[in-house]
Amino acid sequence: MSGKNQATHDYIVFKLGQALQLLLLAQRDTAVQKGYKNFELAIDIVHGCQKTFGDAWEATRDANMAMPDMASARTKLTLLHTGAAAQSIAAATKHIDEIIKALTHHLDVSPSPRGVRQSEK
């Protein structure tokens, strides 16, 4: 199992907080047409990351558990990168990219099944 140290955990919590803060401020400060949902959707995605990461940290301290959700969040944010929210979503995506980079250092390489040597595969 791959672990994350406390400094990595604190860094990721900080980066998610920054991403959320900039989206909330941009939403507050941007006049948008009625029915425009990109800010709300992006905020929900970042909230989901916070929950996923918190759950993964508490339950397993395993970067392998958190990484797929972070990558998925990045993809979803990229799809919302249009209109009035584009600039703030791009900035939030950059924070997610930095988290993915930090988590990458804590990922396990896929190990061989127990009792099976690489030459026997």
Report the chain's mean pLDDT, rounded to a whole number: 82
Q: List, as one string, the DSSP characters of 42-103.
A: HHHHHHHHHHHHHHHHHHT--HHHHHHHHHHHHHHHHHT--GGGHHHHHHHHHHHHHHHHHH
Q: Does residue 98 contact residue 83 with C-beta atoms inside 8 Å?
A: no
Domain that holds residue 72: 6-107
Q: What is the CATH number of the domain that holds 35?
A: 1.20.1440
Instruction: Indicate whether 121 belongs to any domain.
Output: no
Instruction: Indicate whether 119 belongs to any domain.
Output: no
Instruction: Indicate whether 113 belongs to any domain.
Output: no
For the question of whether the overall pTM of this predicted structure is more than 0.75, the answer is: yes
Q: What is the pLDDT of residues 17-65, one digit of tens each?
A: 999 999 999 999 999 888 899 999 999 999 998 887 776 666 446 777 7
Instruction: Indicate whether 114 belongs to any domain.
Output: no
Instruction: Indicate whether 120 belongs to any domain.
Output: no
Mean predicted confidence (pLDDT) in 86-114? 82
